[in-house]
């Protein structure tokens, strides 16, 4: 009953924001550009085709928006049966069974994927933007492939545009050049670029040999969104330093060659209500099923983490903190198991392959040190886990630990809060994840400080039910209020303002107005 009341109380904001989203979109075609496709078709060895929903952060944040407004999602067609499943003009309507929007697939050759995705996006920009002490690798051939692929996605957007002034939402560091390329072909479009990862200080960014091209590409947008005000400040500082461009006194826009571009923080989030969420009362079932699956007795407390196998996620640091916990608080020996759901990521990139090996060997060493035939303190479940499974593990957890060394937002922390309709469980969250600004009722840790994180683990495992409930209830209000609908609505509302101001100028029928508005 208490659970149902809490559920009702936090449910209230979702429908309002959802309606608002649809209202805002009314009349404008929305086109999303994102590397990862929301649904991939793959062929099994028996010839059957299966559809998998992506669990990527970008997909989790953006999909609710397109479900609400309709439109087109332009993405890399990466599934082995994607071509067979594409019905019309390289695309099809999704979600399967309840179509709400069109998915347009762009096909990339092995060489293009190597240069654009593995190379420039993930060996250059990703380490450049994350403070994780991995050296970026800049290769001219990678940048050329990145530029060419950005051009191909821009072409696909223009091909999908049903009129000359769509709202185009460009997602993430894969497409820094696309906004300017789209603007050249669709000067009346309203382009919002959202950078899901951190933006570094200008002193860090300036080592990129193509820094000016990247900035010019992004500045083709009408609005550039970041996860936190700190990222906005870093970006504005980078532009100011590169072009000596004037920042407005409110620090929310920059003018480059007569064009004014808004720069704002829109903290990304998860959809508050979502089909993957188990029904009320399922918390106990999740706990039972996870214990059964892993053979864990009731006496064992459960910690859970859900991360891609990425060097920014602080997986080794997390395991070292667990080692410190078992050293400093021996009462948790045989009494605490940490389950890491680890999704392999960006395979073939040397820094990722090396990280995967280090993570396994660190866990193996700790398990040999503290484990025995009936006890394994760290369990790594490597592989893709569907949203229902992730939710089940999050609901079974006594604590969820996110130890990112640097993270744009970290939506898993918000997924944990969403999953806990029982208002139990403790979130341990890195101070260096964007989510730490909003989820202040988590136990905030510095992942480099193994002793501090171990102390937070011990505090979580001994926290009273009452304190857990108070903290979780407050976090649930925050995530319910600032969910993915709100994220999309705030961005779209700003886009709609820009669009209508331009419309008014054009309607004033000054012969030069259309051009002036396009660059305003």
Residues that bind ligand F6P (CB under 6 A): 35-36, 56-58, 172, 196-197, 345-346, 408
SS3 string, 60-99, reads: HHHHHHHHHHCCEEEEECCCCCHHHHCCECCEEEECCCCC
CB of 35 to ligand F6P, least distance (A): 6
CB of 58 to ligand F6P, least distance (A): 4
Question: Which CB atom, from 59 or from 479, has the smaller least distance to ligand F6P?
Answer: 59
Question: Which CB atom, from 35 or from 165, has the smaller least distance to ligand F6P?
Answer: 35
CB of 96 to ligand F6P, least distance (A): 21
Q: Compute, in degrees rounded to 10, the torsion defined by CA atoms 230, 235, 237, 243.
A: -170
Question: Which CB atom, from 318 or from 346, has the smaller least distance to ligand F6P?
Answer: 346
Question: Which CB atom, from 47 or from 348, has the smaller least distance to ligand F6P?
Answer: 348
Q: Exposed, middle or buried, 23 (CB in 10 Å: 0-12/13-18/19+)? A: middle
Return d(Cα 183, Cα 388) in angstroms, integer.
Answer: 40
Question: Which CB atom, from 407 or from 441, has the smaller least distance to ligand F6P?
Answer: 407
Question: Which CB atom, from 36 or from 102, has the smaller least distance to ligand F6P?
Answer: 36
Q: Which residue has the tokens 């000016």?
A: 212
CB of 171 to ligand F6P, least distance (A): 8
Question: Which CB atom, from 145 or from 326, has the smaller least distance to ligand F6P?
Answer: 145
CB of 172 to ligand F6P, least distance (A): 5
Buried b (16+ CB within 10 A) or exposed e, 434-445: bbbebbebbbbb
CB of 38 to ligand F6P, least distance (A): 12
CB of 310 to ligand F6P, least distance (A): 8
Return d(Cα 446, Cα 249) in angstroms, integer.
Answer: 34
Q: Exposed, middle or buried, 491 (CB in 10 Å: 0-12/13-18/19+)? A: buried
Question: Which CB atom, from 38 or from 220, has the smaller least distance to ligand F6P?
Answer: 38
CB of 29 to ligand F6P, least distance (A): 24
Return d(Cα 31, Cα 17) in angstroms, integer.
Answer: 20
Question: Long-range contacts of range 2-8, CB-CB < 8 Å, 24 or more positions apart?
Answer: 3/280, 3/281, 3/283, 3/421, 3/422, 3/423, 4/280, 6/421, 6/423, 6/473, 6/476, 7/280, 7/421
Question: Which CB atom, from 196 or from 471, has the smaller least distance to ligand F6P?
Answer: 196
Going 490 to 130 to 38 to 169, the CA torsion angle's sign is positive
Q: Order of strands across the sheet with 190-194?
A: 91-94, 101-106, 72-76, 30-33, 167-171, 190-194, 223-226, 259-265, 253-256
CB 442 within 8 A of CB 427: yes
Helices (H), strands (E): how many in the chain? 20, 17
CB of 403 to ligand F6P, least distance (A): 16
Question: Which CB atom, from 40 or from 498, has the smaller least distance to ligand F6P?
Answer: 40
Residue 406's CB is within 10 A of a number of other CB atoms, namely: 20
Question: Which CB atom, from 58 or from 454, has the smaller least distance to ligand F6P?
Answer: 58
The residue number whose beta carbon is nearest to ligand F6P equals 57
Closest CA to 340 of 445, 412, 443, 409: 412
Return d(Cα 344, Cα 308) in angstroms, integer.
Answer: 6
CB of 311 to ligand F6P, least distance (A): 13
End-to-end alpha carbon distance in the chain = 54
Question: Which CB atom, from 183 or from 406, has the smaller least distance to ligand F6P?
Answer: 406
Q: How many residues does the chain have?
A: 520
* Beta-bridge partner residues of 53: 39
Beta pairing class for 91-94 and 101-106: antiparallel
């Amino acid at each position: 009953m208490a659970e149902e009341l809490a559920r009702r109380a936090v449910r209230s904001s979702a429908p309002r924001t959802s309606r608002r989203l649809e209202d805002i979109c009314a009349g404008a075609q929305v086109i999303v550009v994102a590397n990862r496709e929301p649904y991939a078709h793959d062929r099994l060895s028996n010839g059957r085709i299966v559809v998998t929903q992506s669990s990527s952060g970008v997909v989790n944040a953006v999909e609710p928006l397109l479900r609400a407004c309709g439109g087109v999602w332009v993405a890399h067609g990466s599934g082995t049966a994607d071509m067979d499943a594409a019905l019309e003009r390289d695309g099809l309507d999704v979600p399967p069974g309840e179509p709400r929007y069109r998915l347009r697939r762009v096909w990339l050759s092995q060489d293009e994927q190597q240069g654009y995705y593995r190379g420039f996006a993930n060996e250059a920009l990703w380490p450049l933007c994350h403070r994780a002490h991995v050296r970026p690798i800049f290769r001219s051939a990678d940048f050329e492939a990145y530029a060419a692929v950005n051009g191909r996605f821009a072409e696909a957007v223009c091909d999908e545009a049903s009129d000359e002034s769509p709202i185009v939402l460009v997602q993430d560091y894969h497409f820094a050049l696309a906004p300017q390329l789209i603007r050249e072909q669709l000067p009346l479009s309203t382009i919002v670029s959202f950078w899901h990862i951190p933006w570094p200080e200008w002193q860090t960014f300036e080592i990129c040999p193509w820094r000016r091209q990247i900035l010019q590409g992004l500045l083709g947008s009408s609005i550039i969104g970041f996860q936190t005000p700190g990222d906005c400040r870093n970006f504005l500082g980078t532009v100011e330093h590169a072009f000596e461009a004037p920042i407005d006194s409110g620090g929310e826009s920059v003018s480059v060659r007569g064009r004014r571009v808004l720069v704002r923080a829109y903290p990304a989030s998860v959809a508050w209500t979502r089909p993957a969420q188990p029904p009320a009362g399922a918390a106990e079932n999740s706990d039972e099923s996870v214990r059964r699956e892993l053979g864990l007795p009731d006496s064992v407390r459960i910690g859970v983490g859900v991360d891609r196998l990425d060097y920014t996620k602080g997986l080794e640091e997390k395991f070292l903190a667990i080692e410190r916990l078992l050293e400093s608080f021996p009462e948790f020996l045989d009494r605490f198991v940490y389950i890491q759901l680890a999704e392999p990521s960006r395979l073939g990139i040397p820094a990722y392959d090396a990280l995967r090996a280090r993570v396994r060997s660190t866990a193996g060493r700790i398990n040999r040190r503290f484990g025995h035939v009936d006890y394994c303190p760290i369990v790594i479940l490597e592989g893709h886990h569907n949203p229902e499974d992730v939710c089940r593990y999050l609901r079974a957890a006594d604590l969820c630990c996110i130890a990112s060394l640097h993270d744009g937002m970290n939506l898993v922390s918000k997924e944990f809060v969403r999953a806990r309709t029982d208002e139990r469980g403790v979130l341990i969250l890195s101070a260096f994840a964007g989510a730490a600004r909003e989820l202040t009722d988590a136990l905030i840790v510095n992942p480099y400080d193994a002793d501090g994180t171990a102390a937070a683990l011990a505090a979580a495992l001994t926290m009273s039910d009452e304190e857990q409930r108070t903290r979780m209830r407050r976090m649930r209000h925050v995530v319910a209020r600032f969910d993915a609908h709100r994220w999309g609505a705030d961005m779209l509302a700003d886009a709609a303002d820009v669009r209508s101001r331009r419309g008014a100028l054009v309607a004033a029928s000054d012969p030069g107005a259309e051009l002036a508005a396009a660059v305003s």
